[in-house]
A and B are shown apart, each in its own frame.
Chain A
């Protein structure tokens, strides 16, 4: 099951995704992948309404792996740990794009780019993800220049 596009974005379904990315990638379906979100009735009902008519599923990591998504699907993983679990479970996207990871309450974080906060645990997850051989990039919008993510971690000493 190669080909599904994977983006790490803890703001999930929002303008950058629905306006810019889904059109650029020619995506026909979205999967929001996170165990907690999939267990939350409210978010499960609201997120598809935000996707501007694009069919949207809110699934746990396990269900995402079972879904067998192809190249016309964009998977939005809420955090690097979820993304690593997807890769660990056999998902092989062409790249994993780190989009937005806003800082979360009560964590000690470092801003790696303007929109990406990384904690020590997450840095670990990013490195494990990169070690699977899937290119790990950060590119906020299709018009931006993609950058290798691991060197950015190195630079911040994470």
Chain B
């Protein structure tokens, strides 16, 4: 019971973390699962289950409010049930993944329910804004967190409660060893799904050859992932700096040089940033998306700038209009420039700049955050975690905590100082260059990740009769040895390519592809034809 409550509290924090502060990206399965392992007293299970789900979910993030599998709950629930299961660690991990994956997929059905409740709430916020009631507005903003949390915390609590009973042990004690073998293989194939989804989001046709650098680095030179990442950084720098100078885009001269006396105090600015940092999208809803969070963040500035109530109300309503962007890269820039433009006494241009910037910055920010930076650090973290190394989740958490906090602070300050000129800076192509550099790095690193993390070998053998000194000799030859002579890590490459074709070319939905990989893994592993690694040579 106590454990179930602790897991529920952890689930609540994970949900909040992914809507507000993004301190450690706790809704990612690597982090959610690892801590769930600590809570249940089975840290290794949490590490392994979280890492496996993380790799299956690599390219999977929510874009513009689309519903995705709930891997956070999958990782927590999977770990909790695995902890209560019978058998050794590999059997428990197999059960955890076997439960966690379907749970993640099924529970995604609850996600729209939470978002619909918050949609109803935002209309209450409209009423408070019309009255100039900042307290009511703030109340609705924070209350909107409840439906978001409830649809994740309640299933977590129920599953964790069920896991603590003896029933799980009784059921799992009857699971055949072959299934465990199969599930273990499936678990080591699942990262191929994450890599394929990621490749599907990147410009494979343009940069495919960069994969070779990482592949050669790992398969022939045996570089560790960090070494491959360093090579990737160097290649990315080459791409960005050696690019022929583009025809300079004329930066639009800012017509209105805002030489207004500063009416906002440092404390006002800090308050705005703090509100955005801690709660940017906790009241996300289908109709206005992040609007209420933006209005809530702007409120201290509006109160200072518009002593007249009618103006203040108009300001709140102005910022309660539809808004959605990438909250880690992009959002703070928009917030800073909006504050500057409101202070300069140009509310109209504050509103129009906001609208102009939110779409493009969402596209650029989401690419850099989801597809590139996060994918790299979480793949590195998960690959260490799979070896039972705590450095894995710790590395990922720190690499989220520090850079994203600094980046957001810097963006806000920069955009506030630049005000109207911000747009000119952005238009000069800096963002496109960052995105290109990150893409190049991503490809190099992926080339090394695929053979190092997708683990599969065949255990099949064939009999070969050769003539040695006139005597016919029959020996058993491992097919894997022949494959290795052809190309090291041929099978992981083929599996990833196959999954890529299924998702991108045959256009199967990711959920189906995950199903196919799991079934194929279980069957082939059960039959004993394939395994994650070669059996120890006797």
In the bound complex, how far is the Cα of B364 from the Cα of A50, in angstroms? 5
Q: Which residues of A contact B390 (CB under 8 A)?
A: none
Q: Which residues of B contact A3 (CB under 8 A)?
A: none
Q: Which residues of B contact A120 (CB under 8 A)?
A: none
With A14-B359, A23-B504 in contact, do A49 and B322 touch (Cβ < 8 Å)?
Answer: no
A142 and B507 contacting across the interface, CB-CB below 8 Å: yes
In the bound complex, how far is the Cα of B509 from the Cα of A24, in angstroms? 11
- Of all chain B residues, which has the CB nearest A142? B507
Q: Which of B161-169, B301-309, B424-432 lies at the interface with chain A?
A: B424-432
Q: Indicate if A19 sits at the interface (CB-CB under 8 A).
A: yes
With A42-B427, A105-B321 in contact, do A50 and B64 touch (Cβ < 8 Å)?
Answer: no
Q: Which of B198-206, B237-245, B442-450 lies at the interface with chain A?
A: B198-206
Q: Indicate if B66 sits at the interface (CB-CB under 8 A).
A: yes
Looking at B200, B318, B356, the one whose CB has the most chain A CB atoms below 10 A away is B356
Q: Indicate if B366 sits at the interface (CB-CB under 8 A).
A: yes
Q: Which residues of B contact A117 (CB under 8 A)?
A: 287
A20 and B63 contacting across the interface, CB-CB below 8 Å: yes
Q: Which residues of B contact A100 (CB under 8 A)?
A: 64
Q: Which residues of B contact A13 (CB under 8 A)?
A: 359-360, 363
Chain B stretch 350-381: residues in CB contact (< 8 A) with chain A: 351, 353, 356-364, 366-367
In the bound complex, how far is the Cα of B63 from the Cα of A100, in angstroms? 13
Chain B stretch 416-436: residues in CB contact (< 8 A) with chain A: 423, 426-427, 429, 431-432, 435-436
- Of all chain A residues, which has the CB nearest B202? A52
A23 and B63 contacting across the interface, CB-CB below 8 Å: no
Could you tell me how many residues of chain B have their Cβ less than 8 Å away from some Cβ of chain A? 48
Q: Indicate if A152 sits at the interface (CB-CB under 8 A).
A: no
A50 and B359 contacting across the interface, CB-CB below 8 Å: yes
Q: Indicate if A47 sits at the interface (CB-CB under 8 A).
A: yes
With A49-B431, A103-B287, A115-B286 in contact, do A15 and B252 touch (Cβ < 8 Å)?
Answer: no
Could you tell me how many residues of chain A have their Cβ less than 8 Å away from some Cβ of chain B? 36
- Of all chain B residues, which has the CB nearest A111? B287
Chain B stretch 68-95: residues in CB contact (< 8 A) with chain A: none
In the bound complex, how far is the Cα of B203 from the Cα of A112, in angstroms? 35
Q: Indicate if B249 sits at the interface (CB-CB under 8 A).
A: yes
Q: Which residues of B contact A19 (CB under 8 A)?
A: 63, 201
Contact for A45 among B249, B288, B367, CB less than 8 A = B249
Chain A stretch 6-34: residues in CB contact (< 8 A) with chain B: 11-16, 18-20, 23-24
Q: Which residues of A contact B507 (CB under 8 A)?
A: 24, 142
A-B contact pairs, 20 of them (CB 8 A): A12-B359, A13-B360, A14-B64, A16-B63, A24-B507, A41-B427, A42-B356, A47-B359, A49-B431, A49-B432, A49-B435, A53-B206, A53-B436, A100-B64, A102-B322, A103-B322, A105-B317, A105-B321, A111-B286, A114-B116
